[in-house]
Structure 1
Amino acid sequence: MAVTMADITKLRKMTGAGMMDCKNALNEANGDFDGAMEIIRKKGKAIAAKREDREASEGCVLADAKGDFAAIVALKCETDFVAQNQDFIALTRSILDVALEKRPADIEALKTLTIDGRTIADLIVDRSGITGEKMELGYYGSLTAPSTIFYIHPGNKLATIVGFNQKDIDYQVARDVAMQVAAMNPIAVNREEVPADVIAKELEIAKEKAREEGKKEEMLDKIAQGRINKFFQEMTLLEQIFVKDGKKTIQQYLSEQNKDLTAVSFVRFTLNAE
């Protein structure tokens, strides 16, 4: 049977495949939509299997916040050309929207959720068939707090989400903190949340450096404690110097808005080498 433009458009809307891919699939399936969709899916699976050993180092990183919940999603591919494609970005956005609605516990749970009757895992395979590149859901992170904010750095390669201990905080204040996380890459909200093994390692590094400087052995612990305080000031969010105002810390900036306001959690993800 003859394939019409309306049929091709309908299949493209259902699958996201290109016009020629849809036309060829419909012709091969003699106009049967289910058969055409299966042809497109099989093509995606074949390409995904063939390119399994390729590195998907590019992609699109998006974040959003909805009330007390925020999430980051990264859909990865092989080239920046595909990463900047509007259909690829739209698929990433659709996955993020589902994450915000369903609040899955982890990335494996997210893959099983559906969009228009298709699992996210299958949709990614389908997209791989359309682009000819390896694709994968590279990251999913989320947090819950009384209020949340997100920040996406231009280029869709880096995103952050931050949770606060109070509701209805000023949008710009919250966004400033999310941008601080993006720019300064803290390892914890405060010094109490820095892992014990990280602290032990930093103390040992500080002691060894002091030894190399010729400091007396009995002074090493005191010197190391002084240097670990500097480490906390550089690497914990609330003690970091605010990038927009070098005279105050992030906690001081938050306290100016409300004496009890503080950040309680954050997530940061980037595709960029750091």
Structure 2
Amino acid sequence: MSVSAQQVKELRDATGVGMMDCKEALKEADGDFDEAVSILRKKGQEVASDRAEQEADEGLVVTALSDDQRTGVIVEINCETDFVARNDDFQEFANTVAEQTLEKEPDDLEELKALPYEDDVTIEDELVALTGRIGEKLTIRRFDVLESDEGQIISYVHPGSKLGVLVEAQGDGDVQEAGRDVAMQVAALEPIAVTRGEVPEEVKEEEREVAREAAINEGKPEHVIDNIVEGKLERFFEDHVLLEQAFVKDSSVSVKEMLDEAGLSVKRFVRYALGD
């Protein structure tokens, strides 16, 4: 059966699939538009199955904020190559997923994938279809939702969209300016907690053990080893605890001192680096 160029164009506009694939699907479906769409979706599932064992460690980290900035989401979506990460369709998909996540606030990835993407198409449906169109393994790896009762959520995505941060900040100062400074601090220096009290005990003990072993190997006297260990733990806090880090824009002050001056406090943060 022959199909017209107009039929092929309409199917391409509806699915985003290449002209030749649309033409073949219409021929296979004897010109039935809905059946052709179904055929293309099945082919997308076949591609997704074929690519399942491939590594997908490229992609995008995207964020979305509510109008009042009380809620923010961060999502990591992966593909196989950086070329696809720059693809307009892939970027549109990632941003739509973030917006739907912001609107619906799912509890887990399965619930996220079941959210509507467009009309009666779910995010999972579109993920499979996009996999078929692009020809690479695509996955939604993780997401977080942050909500603030008294403050605001600040978003920062580093150019290239491979690193993103959400920060919850509150206070009487300029939340936007200082909050963005903190988000950039988190992106650049990768703290593990806001305060030292939030650092897990197992992490502290591991740092103590490493410092103790190093001191013993260096032949330090037994009576000074405990002081050496605690001194190194203090330096660990200065390097890895957000409020104790030197402020990246002015290393003469700590992040806490900068925030105190700005009249703000930071409650928590989420940092996504692609592939972490």
Is TM > 0.5 for Structure 1 vs Structure 2?
yes
Distance in 2 of aligned mates of 1:92 and 1:7: 29
The 5 Å alignment of 1:19-168 reads 19-66=19-66, 67-116=69-118, 117-145=120-148, 146-166=151-171
- How far 1:64 moved relative to its partner? 2.4
Q: More displaced, 71-80 or 138-147?
A: 138-147
- 1:34 & 1:183 partners in 2: Cα distance? 49
Structure 1, unpaired ranges of 5+: none
* Aligned-partner SS, 1:155: coil
Contact 1:158/1:272 (CA < 8 Å) preserved in 2?
Answer: no
Query: What secondary structure does 1:17 align onto?
Result: coil
Q: Which moved more, 1:117-126 or 1:95-104?
A: 117-126
The structure-2 alpha-carbon separation of the partners of 1:236 and 1:97, relative to structure 1 and needing over 3 Å to count, comes to same
> Does the Cα contact within 8 Å between 1:159 and 1:269 map onto a contact in 2?
yes
Aligned length: 271
TM-score by length of 1: 0.91
Q: Distance in 2 between matches of 1:27 and 1:136?
A: 31
Q: Which amino acid aligns with 2:180?
A: R
Identical-residue share of aligned pairs (%) = 44
- Measure the CA separation in 1 of the matches of 2:18 and 2:273: 29
What is the alpha-carbon distance in structure 2 between the residues aligned to residue 127 and residue 200 of structure 1? 46
Unaligned runs of 5+ in 2: none
Once residues 156 and 170 of structure 1 are traced to their aligned partners in structure 2, the CA distance between those partners, rounded to angstroms, is 23
Kept after mapping to 2: 8 A contact 1:147/1:167:
no
**Aligned equivalents of 2:52, 2:177: Cα separation in 1:** 43
Letter in 1 for 2:125: D
- In structure 2, how many angstroms separate the alpha carbons of the residues matched to 1:13 and 1:252? 55
The aligned residue for residue 18 of structure 1 is: 18
CA distance 1:176–1:8, change in 2 (3 Å):
farther
Match of 1:268 in 2: 271
Any idea what the Cα deviations from partners look like across 1:153-178, whole Å, max 9, x if unmatched? Answer: 11111111111134884322111111
- Aligned mates of 1:118, 1:205 — CA distance in 2: 53
Q: Deviations over 1:108-162 (max 9, x none)?
A: 2211111112221221111111111111112212222231011111111111111
Residues in 2 aligned to 1:213 and 1:254: alpha-carbon distance in whole angstroms: 39
Compared with structure 1, are the counterparts of its residues 12 and 75 closer, same or farther at alpha carbon in structure 2 (3 Å cutoff)? farther
Distance 2:144 2:19 in 1: 34
In 2, Cα distance between equivalents of 1:239 and 1:51? 45
CA contact (8 A) 1:64 1:149 kept: no
Distance 1:243 1:168 in 2: 19
TM-score, scaled to structure 2 = 0.91
Is the Cα contact below 8 Å between 1:12 and 1:18 reproduced in 2? yes
In structure 2, relative to structure 1, the CA distance for the partners of 1:248 and 1:272 (3 Å cut) is farther
Paired with 2:18 and 2:219, the residues of 1 have a C-alpha distance of 68
Q: Which runs of 4+ in 1 moved over 6 A?
A: none
Is the 1:148–1:162 Cα contact (8 Å) retained in structure 2?
yes
Which secondary structure state, in structure 2, belongs to the residue aligned with residue 246 of structure 1? Answer: strand
Q: What residue is the counterpart of 1:233 in the other structure?
A: 238
Cα distance in 1 between the residues matched to 2:182 and 2:4: 53
Change (3 A) 1:237 1:3: farther
